[in-house]
Structure 1
Amino acid sequence: MSESTRRSPRVTAKDVARASGVSQTTVSFVLNGAAGHVSQKTRERVREAARTLGYVPNGSAQALRKGASRIVLLNVEGVPTGSGLGSYIRGLDAELASHQHVLLVLHGHLSSQALSDVAQAVSARAVIDLGDAGHADALATGASLTAFSAQADVPVRYLVERGHRHIATVLPDSPELRILAGLRERLMRQAADTAGLADCPTLVLPGAPEAAGERLRSFRTQHPEVTALAAYNDDLALVTLAAMRHLGLRAPEDLAVIGFDDTPHGALFSPALTTVRLDAESLGRIAARDALGLPTDGLAPEPARVIVRQSG
């Protein structure tokens, strides 16, 4: 075959995603005009990668175009359906409705390509992908979603004010939550560093109290200096308290424990769970405006605050 008849392999969206350091879903959204939740910096990076590689989207991808419908997709795969997420969705739905848009919530285990296919099928105006939070472009660069997952400095500051200098992060031993949990872990470490703490080790706990108790026993042997545990969410904080009870430990005397998200059942446990409450409904409204490309003036959420109970 002559040189002139040889064809270079066709550049795909996956190639653009790899070159720009984002997800394939995000590439699809950016190049087809449905990227209201993606930062301008990330959009430019994706477009530059596409230009450099010579990427040409196929015809079916053009179905995903901004304004093609009044549907906004929210993917919540792997995100615990606690009170914070419920309030977030209510705010998101209400704000979209006020701008004559409809929210479609997806709960399934979708690949990036499957999510892109759904978005194309309904000609989505925008997609908010909480299930892809490990990609900085999908979550960490959107102001509202950053606030929803972040504010990790709140429990750290609270524990430091209570005299704790050795704080550990408690994360779930769950593949479905590894992306969001990884983000929370990084933010907790940043908050600990800002507070001047020497270290912020991570304790990964399974859901069963006895197994969690053995994991906690081993962790305390390795990190006897730790006096406080900041859990990924309230559910995991309650597993932590159950594991402590299994070992004969008390909160906060032996270990202080603080949760995140202020779910209703935290107040019913003994000891009652100290936790962090977010203004998740306002965050949902901000996300709605971000997705539609509208200004978010006047929608600043109330700061996250600690609900002080008995455990920490």
Structure 2
Amino acid sequence: MSISGRVTLNDVAAASGVSRATVSFVLNDDPRQTISAATRDRVKQAARDLGYVPHGVARALREGSSRVVVLNIEAGMEGAYSRSFVRGLDSELAAHNHVLLVRHGHHTPQSIQEVLDAIAPRAIIRFGETYLTGHELEDVGGGWRDGLAAHSALQLRHLVEHGHTHVAVALPDTESPLAAARLKFTGHAAQNLNIPVPDSFVTPLDRAACAEAVEALLAGAPEVTAIAGFNDDVALRVLMALRDLGRGIPDEIAVIGFDDNGYGAYATPSLTTIHVDAQAHGRLRARLALGLDTSGLRPPPARVVARESV
């Protein structure tokens, strides 16, 4: 083994009894070389036994880029959907011998260029890019078919199907890059459902302040009978505020979440929400990033997780 402790081609060659060049041809699956099946098997077994890992820099030089795909997630976009999306993206990339690097926070052109200079990634993906740039109908999830627009419409439609025509949208107290897109989609959905476009209000994290915000909303818009949360975190704050205000749920005010973070099932009353199979979206995005066939990977539609709050 080399002084650095990393298994090299020379180590694999010595263990399998062939030349270093033969090992390279076998492990790189060079179609121009005629090497017997027995020799190929022997080399591959030696590589597995020794734990040989191809040298990333050499591969990057050969391919013109590394086998790293970078995902940038802006602050305020983390949640159950993004975590599930990452799992699907990572799994699909690994199946094609690529590695995922996830970067959280604000990303400037300079920081992105530094990543390009340091590792020459195969691709850089910006989470939610189509929505952040106003190209939502180009969403790989299908936009109004099974993307964020469709998910927002499903949330509102479920309330309407339960008799709620005056709805308010509860937003987080921290700026979210997706807030504007969500409100736009909800507004379009309301027009399609022939109900008033919902007003929106902010739900502070502080318990007392959140109750005050909900109370102010209901005082100013007494016709509201349902509140749609930007996500489950926000919807759970609304549930808490309504209980503090002595409001009946769902008899007086119905509440629906979004993103199904798993905690809604433990609330009182339990939270109705929207569940999205984000792993399928992640797998699809991985194949698009690698230029692979995406047939058979259409994400399934979002679904309502019906509980007690609606």
1:84 match: secondary structure = helix
Within 5 Å, which residues of 2 pair with 1:230-309?
230-309=228-307
TM-score, length-scaled by structure 1: 0.73
| C-alpha contact (below 8 Å) 2:168/2:224 kept by paired residues | yes
1:202 match: secondary structure = strand
Range 98-107 or range 75-84, more displaced: 75-84
Deviation of the 1:81 alpha carbon:
4.2
Paired residue for 2:185, among 187, 192, 198? 187
1:306 match: secondary structure = strand
The answer for the alignment partner of 2:69 in structure 1 is: 72
The answer for the alignment partner of 2:84 in structure 1 is: 87
Q: Distance in 1 between matches of 2:89 and 2:240?
A: 34
Q: Distance in 2 between matches of 1:91 and 1:148?
A: 16
The answer for the alignment partner of 1:21 in structure 2 is: none
Deviation of the 1:226 alpha carbon:
1.1
2:138 match: secondary structure = coil
Structure 1 unaligned segments of length 5 or more: list them. 1-62
Deviation of the 1:67 alpha carbon:
5.4
The answer for the alignment partner of 2:168 in structure 1 is: 168
Counterpart check, 1:124 vs 2:121: yes
Higher RCO (C-alpha 8 Å, min separation 6): 1
The answer for the alignment partner of 2:101 in structure 1 is: 104
Range 143-152 or range 83-92, more displaced: 143-152
1:224–1:113 CA distance, 2 compared to 1 (3 A): farther
Q: Distance in 1 between matches of 2:229 and 2:64?
A: 40
The answer for the alignment partner of 2:219 in structure 1 is: 221
1:212 match: secondary structure = helix
Q: Distance in 1 between matches of 2:303 and 2:64?
A: 37
TM-score, length-scaled by structure 2: 0.73
| C-alpha contact (below 8 Å) 1:237/1:257 kept by paired residues | yes
The answer for the alignment partner of 1:154 in structure 2 is: 154
Q: Distance in 2 between matches of 1:160 and 1:192?
A: 9
Q: Distance in 1 between matches of 2:147 and 2:301?
A: 11
1:104–1:145 CA distance, 2 compared to 1 (3 A): farther
| C-alpha contact (below 8 Å) 1:167/1:201 kept by paired residues | yes
Q: How many residues align?
A: 245
| C-alpha contact (below 8 Å) 1:233/1:261 kept by paired residues | yes
What letter is aligned with 1:92?
L
Deviation of the 1:154 alpha carbon:
0.8
Range 286-295 or range 261-270, more displaced: 286-295
Identity percentage of aligned residues: 42
The answer for the alignment partner of 2:49 in structure 1 is: none
The answer for the alignment partner of 2:141 in structure 1 is: 144
Range 66-75 or range 264-273, more displaced: 66-75
1:75 match: secondary structure = strand
Q: Over aligned residue pairs, what C-alpha RMSD do you find?
A: 2.2
Structure 2 unaligned segments of length 5 or more: list them. 1-59
